[in-house]
Amino acid sequence: MQRMTVVPEKEHSIPSVKEGIPFLPLLAVIGGVFLWRVLFATGFNLIPDECSYWTWSRRLDWSYFDNSGMVAYLIRLSTEILGQSTPYSVRLPFVILSGFTTYLVYTVSRLLFRNRARALFCATLFNLVPPSLLGGAAAIHDNALIFFWLLALCAAAQYLKTNDLKCFYFMGIAAGGAILSKYTGVLVLPCLLFFLLWNRQHRPLLLRKEPWIGALIAVVFALPILWWSYSHDWASLYHIFFIGSGAKAVSRRILDGLGYHVAQFGLVSPFFYLALIVASVAALTRNLREPKPEETLLLCFGMPAIIFGAMAFKGHVEANWGFIAYPSLAILAVETILTARKNDAGGVWKLFSRRHLKWGLILAVGPVLVVVAHAYIGLIPAFLEKRYAKEDRIIWETRGWKDLGNHVAKYQAEGEIISADSYQLCALLEFNIPRQPKVRYLAPWKRPTQFDVWEPSFDNMKGRDILFVTPIPLKPSSDSLTTIYENFAAVEELPSFHVMYHRESIRNIHLYRCKNFDPFSPRRLGPRSLFYQE
């Protein structure tokens, strides 16, 4: 195929007065959001998921039971460089990535549509939706995934403007990074394939070596995950299929599917979500017969929204899984809506006025402010919080963990092993107990966790004294409940830890000094399986 010579298009910016896109205020907003992320990274203790990924970083592996390991690698890099494990050192890589991700949103829009003002507007809106405001600096898979997802999209956009086939190698590297960030990153490859098939002028590329070498590069990045899965009897894939199996009843699956789509309105703000739907449908309609590469590329990278939206009616789908589709669809929506408004288009486009934008921002930023205020001061009366404490994830995940760590350290005797009966609690204790000792997972139930990969057997704890931490009182086994109580020679209850809220205790976490652990009697504990059916 003969390489084409591309004449660069002239970039332009719609005047601020005409489209209402002033540069300096938008830059100030982006700067303010970045500053908020720095403050969040420093001022908020790690939530359970972040603590779990931090424990991964202490035990580096090719992959992990729940997902691929990029989040662990980034955390380890940061904590090694800074020489300590604090909320800031754990989150620092993701704060930095959030800045690069913002730049990528801007760059993709500018490359495809040559309009700096609209590109900056896209980047600002991306930073103001709840997941970006609340979780943009969190040490979680999604932040790494979105960065590499947009990096692949940016490489594809660069190819459209330069016809440089080497861009496919960069797409492969970015796709590999996405796969190492989260399993759903593998969707980059079918999105690119569908784009090439959709556009007639780009179909001949499937006969060229560059796209396939790019795909091969992505596969090479995925080899550590495949090796880990093979070495562990594909337990991780079985885990994914199990948690994604969903309810058996058709009625419940329908309700779960509807619940997923309702959650999307809250995820990106109802007014913004409506704009994404209308603009995407309009773009899809006009590109079915005469596809424009710029628009079809964004539509293809928005495919996860359709995939997970359909899967939600068949199995369990988390509300955040489809978020990777929204940056490209947001870029497309901004271009479609502002072009329609500029051309004085009637019909549905009249709905997307300044008023629509204002309420979209209010319903995006407003709930975030409420969540932050609730986390800091508690907006619910204590008697209600005590009754519904576990359902209030904001307080449940942010209150008391550092104080719990100090409480446990106060009662730990020399030589005692600290254990807990959930992987989240194990991770929280590891991070928050002074000197951050390793914590053992010890539970009678059979649901597998990453801690079972590290320590599948309890045999090396025989004869040891254990400081056992649990939110559920440790009682002797009965006909209705099997516990580990009888596997100890003696159990001494220690003072419980009380999670305080408006000077009232809303939940207790129990401590027990357990003597002479015997994993063999009166019943065998472990080795624990990584499979649910055993």
C-alpha 451/C-alpha 458 separation (Å) is 12
Q: Which of 371, 406, 421 is the last residue of a domain?
A: 371
The reply to whether 214 falls in a domain is yes
205 and 196 Cβ atoms separated by less than 8 Å? yes
C-alpha 271/C-alpha 266 separation (Å) is 10
C-alpha 525/C-alpha 521 separation (Å) is 8
C-alpha 305/C-alpha 267 separation (Å) is 13
Q: What is the mean pLDDT of residues 42-59?
A: 96
Are residues 365 and 399 located together in one domain of the fold? no
Domain that residue 238 falls in: 16-371
12-46, pLDDT tens digit by residue? 443 333 466 788 999 999 999 999 999 999 989 99
The reply to whether 150 falls in a domain is yes
443-468, pLDDT tens digit by residue? 887 889 999 999 999 999 999 999 99
Are residues 198 and 61 located together in one domain of the fold? yes
The tally of domains found in the chain comes to 2
Are residues 194 and 239 located together in one domain of the fold? yes
The reply to whether 384 falls in a domain is no
381 and 392 Cβ atoms separated by less than 8 Å? no
Are residues 442 and 317 located together in one domain of the fold? no
211-256, pLDDT tens digit by residue? 999 999 999 999 999 999 999 999 998 888 887 776 677 888 888 8
Tell me, what's the pLDDT at 446?
A: 80
Are residues 501 and 415 located together in one domain of the fold? yes
The reply to whether 185 falls in a domain is yes
| Mean pLDDT of all residues belonging to the chain | 92
Asked whether the predicted pLDDT for residue 7 surpasses 60, the reply is no
Are residues 347 and 441 located together in one domain of the fold? no
Are residues 300 and 438 located together in one domain of the fold? no
Are residues 121 and 176 located together in one domain of the fold? yes
Are residues 405 and 273 located together in one domain of the fold? no
The reply to whether 528 falls in a domain is no
Are residues 157 and 268 located together in one domain of the fold? yes
Are residues 325 and 176 located together in one domain of the fold? yes
- Please give the single-letter amino acid code of residue 363: L
482-523, pLDDT tens digit by residue? 899 999 999 999 999 999 999 999 999 999 999 999 999 998
The reply to whether 534 falls in a domain is no
Largest CA distance in the chain: 81
pTM, 2 dp: 0.93
341-369, pLDDT tens digit by residue? 889 888 899 989 889 999 999 999 999 99
| 258 contacts: CB under 8 Å, gap ≥ 6 | none
| Whole-number CA gyration radius for the chain | 26
Bond prior to 471 in cis (omega within 30° of 0): no
Tell me, what's the pLDDT at 20?
A: 63
296 and 198 Cβ atoms separated by less than 8 Å? yes
Helix (H) or strand (E) holding 233: none
The reply to whether 387 falls in a domain is no
The reply to whether 223 falls in a domain is yes
DSSP sequence for 264-310: HHHHH-HHHHHHHHHHHHHHHHHHTTS--HHHHHHHHHTHHHHHHHH
Are residues 263 and 412 located together in one domain of the fold? no
